[in-house]
Amino acid sequence: MGNATPPSGSVALIAAMVTPALLILGAASLVASALARMGRVVDRARTLAAAIHAGEASRLGVSEARLRTWLERHAARARHAERSIGLLYAAVVVFIASSLSIALDRAGAVLPVWLPGALAIGGTFLLLAGGAFMVAETRLSSRQIAEEITDALARLKETHP
């Protein structure tokens, strides 16, 4: 137990590369979530647009002004999700570059000492920005569903007092 030896160069290299790998995993998970949210926005917007194009907007039970508001909100949600996806993908790329810079540094390449850390910090800021856009998208989504529920309850009250 007292005869601990320092890790080999390979083990030290792998240990150093684990942190960017975990950050890549976290960013990839957020990308998957953002893509799923984008899919929901697209599906809902297409449903509303199809009803409007088919002249069936009245069957939705809301005014044209309300439909316009909902479509505009879906457009904003899509923009937020798109920005988030782009930033999160960029974070993955930067974390991969961070991992590679660690490997190159350990292999003796002439790199600035600060490069691996700067890349990891940059990737973290990209994660933060991507997450902020997803928070904005989620807030719009919450507002949207609250309005839809309120409208549905009002319609129920009109038809079944």
**Least confident piece of the model among 16-20, 75-79, 87-91, 141-145:** 16-20
pLDDT of residue 2: 56
pTM, rounded to two decimals: 0.81
pLDDT tens for residues 1-36?
Answer: 556 666 666 776 777 777 788 889 889 999 999 999
pLDDT of residue 46: 92
* Among 94, 49, 126, residue whose Cα is nearest residue 134: 126
* Among 71, 69, 82, residue whose Cα is nearest residue 31: 82
Q: Where are the domains of the chain?
A: 18-159
b/e code 25-49 from CB counts within 10 Å (16+ = b): ebbeebbeebeebbeebeebbeebe
